[in-house]
């Protein structure tokens, strides 16, 4: 946390110290006189941090009242009217909402309080105002004590000893501040002796105000050092009206993050630390006294916004620079590719053969070439199916293959389709194929079956196949018996006529 200046104002002096990260510096005391104010002025010249003023004065008044639950301007007007009614002669007043009732009209329980002797505070404030010290607010010990009793049961009277102010007694009901009084310090009386006497008086006062129900014991909680606790326990005995409990000041300080070493029961450093870490939203300072602090907050907000804007601008600029570099690299790459393509184009134009043919002649040549491909397809197209079929029959060996065009090659024929449209039939391409069957053992039936399967495979690939010669003459003029009885090792030779025709 940032450094703060903490002031503690009692009836006859003001203490000043510096707080930072839980550590509290040694206090500097200024007497309530002209010399003390001069020393205080010199102190402020070197301490211009945000300042919080804590008071512990007898002249602090508390009033309870139930008011209608209002909002907005109506609520503001009501509170202002009540403060003027109760505390017309002091500018140091405030109003706190304790709770909203759950029955009836659900009105608000309010606590109005004020520092009723402005003369004790104004001289110190005027010095701070003259030097533009950023005053955060003016607080009192009763108004900041609630966090210390949040775990304590109802009807709790909190006792604390401030050696420069006296014995402070603050009464809480259900953790809500109801009443507080200060017994000024007396050189002839000690903390232990004053605690027992004043607690009894306060109990009677609470009963008279009906703040303590009849028959309800008062739970007295005392903030003290270990050395004083033994004396307090010896002098303060529980009975049906009073129950005593003790809060060790060192343990309490550690619980709220204080790094101060407490040597006695003086709770002033404890309350100063509590104010530094948990300042209440409500306080006694008017707007004219906190003006410098508001300007400081605005200045810091503007600095924060400026820093955020500058950071965003730097990030945006960096992003633009990266994008520009990326686009520049991409542009260089595109320029290189464009130059390469231009060079390739020039080389292509230079190497392209010069022709004197006109565009019409070139178009006619292309059309004739495409028509020629339709009439007579390339040999690769015709022989592709034959080659794949031969791969499926490895025992068929080709001895001779010849090529010719059918007698209709001089022109194309037209045939009528069932729908009545004409189909142009290209000339047939004829392949004369002769060969023999390997691994022939004289089994003509198996040989003929193999050739028949070969023929059917060609037909399935779009060929027309006619057997010219077979290993065994099965025609009416042939003699099967003679062939089969021939004892010579005659090879199984054959020849086929394979036709290919494309229709367009």
CATH of the domain at 485: 3.30.980
Answer yes or no: is pLDDT of 27 > 60: yes
Let me know whether 223 and 324 are in one domain: no
Let me know whether 395 and 474 are in one domain: yes
Beta strand spans in 130-224 (E): 135-140, 156-162, 166-173, 176-184, 218-224
The predicted pLDDT at position 371 comes to 73
Let me know whether 396 and 495 are in one domain: yes
Spatial CB neighbours of 372, under 8 Å, sequence gap ≥ 6: none
In a domain, 110, yes or no: no
In a domain, 168, yes or no: yes
Let me know whether 398 and 472 are in one domain: yes
The DSSP bridge pattern shows strands 492-500 and 464-469 to be: antiparallel
Domain that holds residue 9: 4-59+117-289
Let me know whether 326 and 397 are in one domain: no
In a domain, 194, yes or no: yes
Other CB atoms within 10 A of residue 172 CB: 25
CB of 124 closer than 8 Å to CB of 289: no
Beta bridge partners of 181: 169
Let me know whether 240 and 170 are in one domain: yes
SS3 169: strand
When divided into structural domains, the chain yields a total of 3
Tens digit of pLDDT for each residue in 399-426?
A: 888 887 765 443 344 444 444 444 455 6
Share of the chain above pLDDT 90, in %: 39
Last residue of a domain, one of 289, 321, 339: 289
Let me know whether 225 and 275 are in one domain: yes
The predicted pLDDT at position 413 comes to 40
Let me know whether 316 and 198 are in one domain: no
Last residue of a domain, one of 244, 259, 289: 289
Residue 290 and residue 135: Cα distance in Å, rounded? 5
In a domain, 104, yes or no: no
First and final CA of the chain: distance in angstroms? 93
In a domain, 103, yes or no: no
Let me know whether 129 and 276 are in one domain: yes
Q: Average of pLDDT values for 136-149?
A: 92
In a domain, 429, yes or no: yes
Let me know whether 45 and 178 are in one domain: yes
Let me know whether 337 and 425 are in one domain: no
Q: Average of pLDDT values for 255-274?
A: 93
Let me know whether 386 and 251 are in one domain: no
Helices 444-460, 379-392: crossing angle, 10 deg rounding: 140
In a domain, 490, yes or no: yes
In a domain, 467, yes or no: yes
Answer yes or no: is pLDDT of 487 > 60: no
- How many whole angstroms from its chain centre is CA 209? 55
The predicted pLDDT at position 426 comes to 60
3-state SS of the chain: helix, strand, coil percent to 5? 40, 25, 30
Last residue of a domain, one of 245, 267, 289: 289
Q: Residue 87: pLDDT band by 50, 70, 90 thresholds?
A: very high
Q: Which of 126-130, 428-432, 478-482 has the lowest mean pLDDT?
A: 478-482
């Amino acid at each position: 946390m940032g450094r703060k200046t903490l002031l503690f104002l009692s009836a006859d002096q003001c203490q000043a110290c510096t707080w930072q990260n839980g550590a509290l510096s040694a206090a500097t005391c200024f007497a309530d006189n002209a010399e003390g104010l001069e020393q205080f002025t010199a102190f402020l010249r070197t301490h211009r941090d945000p300042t919080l003023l804590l008071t512990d004065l007898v002249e602090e008044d508390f009033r309870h009242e139930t008011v209608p639950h209002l909002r907005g301007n109506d609520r503001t007007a009501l509170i202002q009217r009540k403060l003027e009614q109760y505390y017309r002669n002091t500018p140091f007043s405030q109003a706190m909402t304790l709770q909203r009732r759950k029955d009836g009209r659900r009105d608000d329980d309010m606590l109005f309080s004020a520092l009723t002797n402005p003369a004790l505070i104004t001289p110190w404030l005027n010095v701070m105002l003259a030097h533009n010290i950023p005053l955060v607010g003016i607080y009192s010990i009763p108004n900041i004590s609630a966090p210390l009793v949040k775990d304590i049961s109802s009807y709790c009277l909190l006792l604390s000893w401030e050696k420069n102010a006296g014995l402070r007694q603050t009464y809480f009901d259900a953790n809500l501040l109801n009443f507080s009084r200060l017994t000024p310090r007396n050189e002839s009386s000690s903390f232990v002796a004053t605690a027992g006497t004043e607690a009894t008086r306060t109990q009677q006062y609470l009963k008279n105000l009906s703040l303590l129900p009849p028959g309800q014991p008062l739970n007295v909680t005392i903030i003290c050092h270990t050395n004083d606790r033994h004396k307090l326990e010896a002098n303060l005995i529980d009975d049906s009206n009073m129950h005593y409990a003790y809060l060790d000041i060192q343990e309490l300080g550690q619980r709220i993050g204080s790094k101060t070493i407490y040597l006695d029961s003086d709770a002033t450093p404890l309350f100063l630390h509590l104010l530094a870490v948990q300042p209440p939203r409500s306080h006694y300072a008017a707007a004219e006294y906190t003006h410098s602090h508001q300007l400081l907050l605005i200045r810091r907000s503007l600095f924060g916004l400026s820093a955020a804007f500058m950071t965003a601008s730097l990030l945006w600029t960096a992003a633009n620079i990266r994008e520009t570099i990326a686009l520049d690299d991409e542009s260089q790459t595109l320029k290189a590719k464009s130059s390469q393509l231009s060079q390739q184009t020039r080389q292509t134009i230079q190497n392209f053969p010069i022709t004197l043919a006109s565009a019409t002649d070139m178009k006619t040549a292309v059309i004739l070439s495409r028509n020629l491909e339709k009439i007579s397809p390339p040999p690769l197209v015709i022989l592709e199916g034959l080659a794949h079929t031969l791969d499926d029959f490895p025992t068929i060996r080709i001895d001779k293959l010849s090529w010719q065009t059918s007698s209709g090659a001089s022109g194309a024929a037209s045939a009528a389709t069932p729908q009545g449209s004409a189909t142009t039939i290209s000339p047939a391409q004829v392949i004369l194929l002769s060969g023999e069957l390997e691994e022939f053992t004289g089994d003509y039936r198996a040989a003929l079956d193999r050739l028949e399967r070969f023929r059917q495979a060609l037909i399935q690939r779009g060929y027309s196949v006619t057997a010219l010669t077979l290993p065994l003459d099965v025609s009416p003029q042939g003699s099967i018996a003679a062939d089969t009885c021939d004892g010579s090792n005659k090879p199984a030779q054959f020849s086929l006529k394979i036709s290919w025709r494309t229709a367009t």
